Amino acid sequence: MLKELSIKNFTIIENLHICFSDGLTILSGETGAGKSIIINAVNLLLGSRASAKLIRTGAETAELEALFKITPESRVFKILDEQGGKASEELLIRRIISRGDRHRIYINGHLATIQMLNQATENLASISGQHAHQGLLKEDLQLTIIDQFGGLTSIRNKIYRLFHEIIPLTQKLRKLNNIRNRQAEHINLLEFQKKEILDASIKPGEDASLEQERIRLKNGEELYSAVYSSIEDLYSANGAVVERLVEVKKNLDKATAIDPELTSKAKELSEATFRIEDIAEELRTYLKIITIDDKRLEKVESRLDILTRLKHKYGGTPEAVISHLETIDQELSGIENISGQINDTETKLSELHRELSRLSLDLSSKRSQTAKLLAKKVEKELASLRMSGTKFKISLQTIPASDSSDPHLVVKGNTINETGIDHAIFLIAPNVGEDLKPMASIASGGELSRIVLALKAILAEKGSVETLVFDEVDAGIGGSVAEAVGGKLSKLARYHQIICITHLPQIAKFGDNHFRITKNVSQGRTITSINPLNEKDRIKEIARMLGGMEITKTTLDHAREMLKNQS
């Protein structure tokens, strides 16, 4: 049960705090006062998506807080216990909406995710508004209503899990079969690539070494001439560098006899002479390896062409080509096991298909029985809501499988999806003598609101939701119909906490608790406030709802009479 609701800086609401009781609580007020904003706040606390656009102008954050009373036997109590929080008989939910879209959620003071919030609040409250009315026209929701009424949700959940276990396995099987179907061609390709790489006998770094050799071969004559000339200049020719250094050394030795300080320099010059001789000898050795061999150049360039082609095909470097060879070996090994993988996958799919088929047929049979019972109950509820004579029927149909349907998602010629093999259509004939037609094509706003109320009343007997919130339940109705709706809400309030936003006094008079929501302008800002009404204030509010802004003695007497008849 919802005990308290606090709203700060949310759209036009600056600061609002409401304490709720059990029974039927009425929220009334002028259009635009903020009644639906309160419902939006509750929706957010139950897990709807938040947006920074909801923050009041001038504020950085909006804060919403709701306190629920729960019982140890409730589902939410068990969920909180499983999530590791300390479960108690009070559940405090808090949401902070920030302008930077960095919103935060707290459950009993602990930071939580939107998934945790949705799980915890799944059965806390049910809100019926414009979206609920329109959603009722969708076939998937109609099927959900049947399953909820018949207590079939557990079977449906099993089907959902099996369906989503089968889907990836069918995709895997198709992939494996495709590989097997082109296996021979694929193996030939892999074997060709393997042979091509093995025949090349590639070595790491080979391309760089060959490229350097190619450069030497292409420039052999120029290299020979440059090195030979260098040897002559350094050592062999008249006046060579070594010969001149020897003369310099002799002169420096004479000078050393005069000044010993020059000894180190003479020694260094002697070492330089020896080093020049070594360099000349190394150049003579290099000269011997310089070859001018067109045939060798042709072989090197041919080998480089092979390496370049393989690098382009298999990775850009000799190391990448070698790595690709390892990949080929792994893939060939995997292909050898393909038949075994196919057999294992088909066996698993057969087991899952048998179970999915059994559950889908069982669910379909139970839905058929449930649909008949639900239709009778809806007709009975609608009669109590001034729609007597209305015919209501639920048509359950299956989707025939096509040639392209996966056989693992077919049973008795029908396609299985995540909800089973059925889809539902609610048919209605609001007026006597009319044919039954899909509700989406003929139901008016007033009829839809009563159908929603009828279904809520029926499902309330089956569900564990303690708080039911109704917004726009009075859409398109008035007079005796509104009074019937109010009476229905009052009866529901014996078993559930009911919160109802209404403009109609015929509904408001049934309230056990009554709040008036008003909107005022203070210091240039719009402020929404909510006030509980005592008996005297309630008479005035009912009179306002009866007669508009001008409250007369007649409307006050009428309001007093309406409330008196309810006491």
**How many other β-carbons are positioned within 10 Å of the β-carbon of residue 57?**
9
Residues 523-556 have pLDDT tens digits of 777 778 889 999 999 999 999 988 766 788 888 8
* Tally of CA atoms within 13 A in the half-sphere of 504 that contains its CB: 21
| pLDDT confidence of residue 130 | 55
| Cα–Cα distance for residue pair 470/507, rounded to 1 Å | 12
Give 132's contacts (C-beta < 8 A, 6+ positions apart).
Answer: 452
CA distance 27 to 528: 13
Helix (H) or strand (E) segment spanning residue 335: helix 318-336
Instruction: Report which DSSP code applies to 54.
Output: G
Strand ranges, E, within 409-537: 410-411, 414-415, 422-429, 437-438, 467-471, 497-501, 513-522, 525-532
Q: What's the pLDDT tens digit per position in 490-509?
A: 988 888 889 999 889 999 99
pLDDT per position as a tens digit, 376-403: 999 998 988 888 888 999 999 998 999 8
Q: Model-level pTM?
A: 0.62
Count CB atoms within 10 A of the CB of residue 357. Answer: 19
pLDDT at 443: 57
Q: How far apart are CA 252 and CA 408, in angstroms?
A: 102
Token couple for 236: 């062999």
* Percent of the chain topping pLDDT 70: 95
Q: How confident is the model at residue 220 (pLDDT cuts 50, 70, 90)?
A: confident
User: Average pLDDT in the 280-293 region?
Assistant: 81
pLDDT digits (tens, 9 = 90+) for 345-374: 999 999 999 999 999 999 999 999 999 999
pLDDT of residue 109: 86
Token code pair at residue 466? 């303690």
Average pLDDT over residues 292-299: 79
In whole angstroms, give the CA distance from residue 241 to residue 271.
Answer: 14
Which domains, from first to last, does the chain contain?
A: 1-128+465-532 (3.40.50.300), 187-336 (no CATH)
SS3 assignment for 16-27 = EEEECCCCEEEE
**191 Cβ neighbours under 8 A, 6+ residues apart:** 332
Q: Indicate the DSSP class of residue 41.
A: H
**Residue 326 Rama label (left phi>0; alpha psi -120 to 50; beta):** alpha
Q: What is the pLDDT of residue 567?
A: 59
Task: Please write down the long-range contacts of 533-536, taking CB distance under 8 Å and 24 or more positions apart.
Answer: 535/563
Which pLDDT does position 133 carry in this prediction? 52
Structure tokens at 199: 């025949």
Q: Is the pLDDT of residue 265 over 80?
A: yes
Percent of the chain with pLDDT over 90: 30
CA dihedral 386, 35, 127, 479 (to 10 degrees): 0
Counting Cα atoms < 13 Å in the Cβ hemisphere of 561 gives 7
Binned at pLDDT 50, 70 and 90, residue 87 comes out as low
The better pLDDT of the pair 258, 79 is held by 258
